[in-house]
Amino acid sequence: MQDLKISKKKPSYPVTKRLNKYLTEYNRNTRISVSYDDLLRFQGSVIVYDKNDEDTLWIRVYYNEFEREEIDLSLKRVYMNLHSDGNDKILQFLNIDAVDYCTFGNSKPFRIKIRNVLNDNYTYFYVKKADASRIYGLELEHMLSPYNLNFMVYEDTLIEEHIAGIPGDEFIKNMLPLCSEPEKAQIAKEFVKFNERCMIRLLGDMRSYNYVFVPTHDFDHVVFKIRAIDFDQQCYEGKFKVYRPQFFKENITIVKLVSEKFQQESIDQYMVEERSIVAKRLISYNDRIKALLHCMVTDSIAPQKHIDLLKSQIYPYTKDVKFKKSKNMGEILRTSLEYVKRNYEGVITKNG
């Protein structure tokens, strides 16, 4: 198990005119009254600790009295645009309980805790600096995974809904040992499929703290799903293994579980199943995927050395010469998706 190195200072890539047009066409572009830079004007902060009094790497920020009133109102409006029709009638029932700022990682997001004062239900959303590669990652997750995503972009600000679940590192440490053997087998299966899905769509850096486990009660048992929550490393790194969660040391416990529960034949079966599911989604979202890929192949979202390394490492795996001819990350991803779709359609034709 290698300790894969991830680029520590991944740059933020600007949203191009073509990508902005795509976002407008598919209702992702919405005018908002508060920007990421506005939230940076906080006057002070305190460290946020978890229930075990450990530093969460988040700080709770506060603003001067005049700005706080304006920021609170703007954040409430953002929430309404994200989750409803933007009707002002519900403003009076919303309260901004906290604005937290993460000092760890590339995106340095703000996490907004918003509460309904009528019933004390609360949820979160995130305000981040708009980054083209992250937006591509969100859109690909929306179309190619089993999960829909809700986000908005306005100029250089990105708003993301909160993805609920149990952080992977916490689940592996504290909850996995308590799972039954059938549950462990189901988790292992889900990881195989998650691993395959990340590889196909080139979503990198899926270490255990970048995805969550989502438990769902189904009759007399619990089904666990795995969802990515960080899309910062979409089509950026040059090492092919970075796009395969199985190679991160943080995931070694799950990888060992897979080897304990399944023979290679079963693993291969689940991989084929996931490729088929992705291929079906590619067909369902055909026009939208084409439009997004058209943006990507004309965009620059990775250094040339990463592009050259990645296409050279994928070619031996697929033997598809189109990877060698790819000029940028968009073309590499397009070739990857075409490869999956072509093989799926070949199987369908063969089986009549």
* pLDDT (tens place) for every residue of the chain, 352 residues total: 556 777 667 899 999 999 999 999 999 999 998 999 999 999 999 999 988 888 888 999 999 988 999 999 999 999 999 987 767 788 889 999 999 999 877 788 999 999 999 999 999 999 999 999 999 999 999 999 999 999 999 999 999 999 999 999 999 999 999 999 999 999 999 999 999 999 999 999 999 999 999 999 988 889 999 999 999 999 999 999 999 999 999 999 999 999 999 999 999 999 999 999 999 999 999 999 999 999 999 999 999 999 999 999 999 989 999 999 999 999 999 999 999 998 887 655 455 4
Q: Is the pTM of this model over 0.85?
A: yes
Q: What is the pLDDT of residues 111-158, one digit of tens each?
A: 999 999 999 999 999 999 999 999 999 999 999 999 999 999 999 999
Per-residue pLDDT at 348 = 52
Per-residue pLDDT at 352 = 46
Per-residue pLDDT at 2 = 54
Per-residue pLDDT at 351 = 52
Domain ranges of the chain: 17-161, 166-350
| Domain covering 166-350 in this structure, CATH number | 1.10.1070
Per-residue pLDDT at 195 = 98
SS (H, E, C) the chain: CCCCCCCCCCCCCCCCHHHHHHHHHCCCECCCCCCHHHHCCCCEEEEEECCCCCEEEEEEEECCHHHHHHHHHHHHHHHHHHHCCCCHHHHHHEEEEEEEEECCCCCCCEEEEEEECCCCCEEEEEEEECCHHHHHHHHHHHHHCCCCCCEEEECCEEEEECCCCEEHHHHHHHHHHHCCHHHHHHHHHHHHHHHHHHHHCCECCCCHHHEEEEEEEECCEEEEEEEECCCCCECCCCCHHHHCHHHCHHHHHHHHHHHHHCCHHHHHHHHHHHHHHHHHHHHHCHHHHHHHHHHHHCCCCCCHHHHHHHHHHHHHHHCCHHHHHCCCHHHHHHHHHHHHHHHHHHHHHHCC
